[in-house]
Structure 1
């Protein structure tokens, strides 16, 4: 939006709610499917499939992000990425975003400008925009995003369709965001690639629809960690899942970082969340979409194992634990 330097020192209490909304939304391009964008009581999107996929995530300062670790621009991108990942995990394509922003009155306008630039940059990678939302005063900065999507005539890929005999496959990175969080927690700011994975995840956009087209029987994204999210599939589908660690692999870069920190890179890969990779199951013998690699199998029974044995330790992130 390019506010001038005299505006950079302003706080949002000086600009006001409607002035802030205008700064976040004006001059931005909307997708062709947006019949009515920001500025009215509600937005209007076309829904060519006749169904709308919807998902909401809330990011709270001090819990999901810290401005001493990430720039507002990076936080904006992350907020959108974690939401679009959920749409991806249903096998849908995103169509629009609704944004709720709660922040203290003394929040600098420049911070919100930068945050908004990040929100829009990530959204427009997929040709969509912010179609509406709300802004309120709060004691802490909180971002709530609702992502909307379209199935394009396909059935949604849920967590409950896995069957014994299916193969388990993953698209995207595992363990990188957890490694970045560990690095930042020790007071370091490098390696840049690892730290950057925590600041801005890189969901495998497009892999979800590809999995749906390729016959995926179930799918979930790695918000909480590989084992925890495989647990969601196992529970919803009434099956057991075993991960083959030899197929999974541990990237050399993560091994190097873990060695420097005295940590376990394998643990990051198995349990680290926020990479927003996709885990899907496919019928045995069916060709996997190009984005996916096989890492395990669906079995009779319950629970998740690694190389046939229960994993020792927490399986991933849980709120309030």
Structure 2
């Protein structure tokens, strides 16, 4: 995890984030000054950012929106106040309305991003300056500390190539907190095809099968979906999941609810994102559980092993045949 420290200072009205990474300064600099890279980590998990403007000049502006799994948007804008190429830049950061204009009711903050060489690579220092103790307290109360940590802890996957960082690791499971789990898997294939394999019933029935011996006997997709499997042709072994689509941003992101058919209780929210680099696609699935007990119960079923078997089948039986 890159973030080594986040400190709030009520006397000096600052919040300082420090992150150490194992790449040169120029690589870290590019991650923060190229919008397609920046948007991969600027929003915390579940709230990815999309930059619509990025005029990296003094007096220029950047505008972005972070989108929740339910489609809610939190917008922001930067005004670039100073740029010291390769070393630092300074912005005036503000919450924005739908037109990208600062919202007066929310605090604006001056932020300084500094980049320095270290023995093991490079260091980011991000200092946010507040105009009052109330403004600092308001932003902290909105979850800025933990949100910043979770966002910046995504840096490693941006600074390294996808194959360099993920190839050979299979299906990786991370426990982010009591109710959120992040699952990543690198799939050798282009994003458009990987997206289609997740949404085309004919393709889904070829790979989303879990352990060997199971088959998908029902596959309905759309605004609502329903998947049913059985083992060895035995109808008594049948089980399945159903849910509804909350967000469909082809081919980047698909969010849906999920609930076992016939079971009472709340559903999970599954936020699946697709990112392509050099012909390989990184799948990132953020699952929100209703509570820790449900999280642990589902993970204990061997879910990750079943997913890995399915993803290996996706690569060997669907993508290679395309």
Whether these two folds match at TM > 0.5 is: no
- Relative to its length, the structure with more helix (as a share) is 1
Select the structure with the greater relative contact order (CA < 8 A; seq sep ≥ 6). 1
